[in-house]
């Protein structure tokens, strides 16, 4: 019989990414010069927690700029998929880490960083494995493709100790359904960052959409 910890292991202590804001904008920055005005627009709209994905060459410079010039923002790194990403994100000034999935090496690197982090899951077995390791807060990805709010609701009965930030395919119509669930702390999304607004550097529109998103309070 296995002697590993029971799945009811309590979440790790420390600040929670899930309680920073009802919505975390998931930002893909193509030009680092846009990072500061974009972050200021999101903060002004009531969304201070900002996930900058490590998908572009500009991402780390964007994190550095936001960390240095927008102190009221809580900037994090997303699409963290390797221990090297963890090291680079911490050096750039990231204040939280988000991954689409996890491995033992990545999980250990995120834990060792000292930052709050959300490892990604999409199955019950992955949730159980993280609970065994003392991790109770997770990213649920890709949310809509992996079963949506109905899936997370079904996990609430057997695994109430697990809490989630669902991300992937969520828009303003679906977000309230997720936020109404007791095991969901926040959602991640991009709908407040439409491509045409970013291309036009229409930060006023981004701020308005962020304000609408920030009004999606849980219950």
Q: Residue 5 falls within a domain, yes or no?
A: no
- Which region among 9-18, 156-165, 206-215 has the lowest average model confidence (pLDDT)? 9-18
**In the predicted model, what is the mean pLDDT of the chain?**
93
Check if the beta carbon of residue 210 is closer than 8 Å to that of residue 46.
yes
Residues identified as active-site? 51, 139
Give me the numbers of helices (H) and strands (E) for the chain, helices first please: 9, 9
180/153 Cα distance (integer angstroms):
10
* pLDDT tens track for 8-66: 333 344 468 999 899 999 999 999 999 999 999 999 999 999 999 999 999 999 999 99
Q: How many domains does the chain have?
A: 1
In a domain, 2, yes or no: no
DSSP character at residue 62: H
- Write out the residue range of the structural domain in which residue 206 sits: 20-210
CATH of the domain at 80: 3.20.20.70
């Amino acid at each position: 019989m296995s002697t590993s910890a029971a799945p009811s292991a309590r979440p790790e202590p420390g600040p929670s990414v899930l309680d920073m804001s009802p919505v975390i904008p998931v930002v893909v920055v193509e030009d680092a010069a846009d990072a500061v005005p974009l972050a200021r627009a999101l903060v002004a709209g009531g969304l201070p927690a900002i996930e900058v994905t490590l998908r572009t060459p500009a991402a780390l410079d964007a994190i550095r700029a936001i960390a240095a010039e927008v102190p009221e923002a809580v900037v994090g790194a997303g699409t963290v998929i390797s221990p090297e990403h963890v090291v680079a994100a911490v050096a750039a000034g990231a204040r939280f880490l988000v991954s689409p999935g996890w491995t033992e090496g990545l999980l250990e690197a995120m834990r060792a960083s000292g930052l709050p982090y959300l490892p990604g899951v999409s199955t019950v077995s992955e949730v159980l494995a993280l609970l065994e390791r003392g991790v109770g807060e997770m990213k649920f990805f890709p949310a809509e493709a992996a079963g949506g709010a109905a899936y997370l609701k079904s996990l609430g009965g057997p695994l109430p100790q697990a809490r989630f930030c669902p991300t992937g395919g969520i828009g303003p119509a679906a977000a309230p359904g997720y936020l109404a669930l007791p095991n969901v702390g926040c959602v991640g999304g991009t709908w407040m960052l439409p491509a045409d607004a970013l291309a036009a550097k229409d930060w006023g529109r981004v701020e308005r959409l962020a304000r609408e998103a920030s009004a999606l309070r849980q219950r």
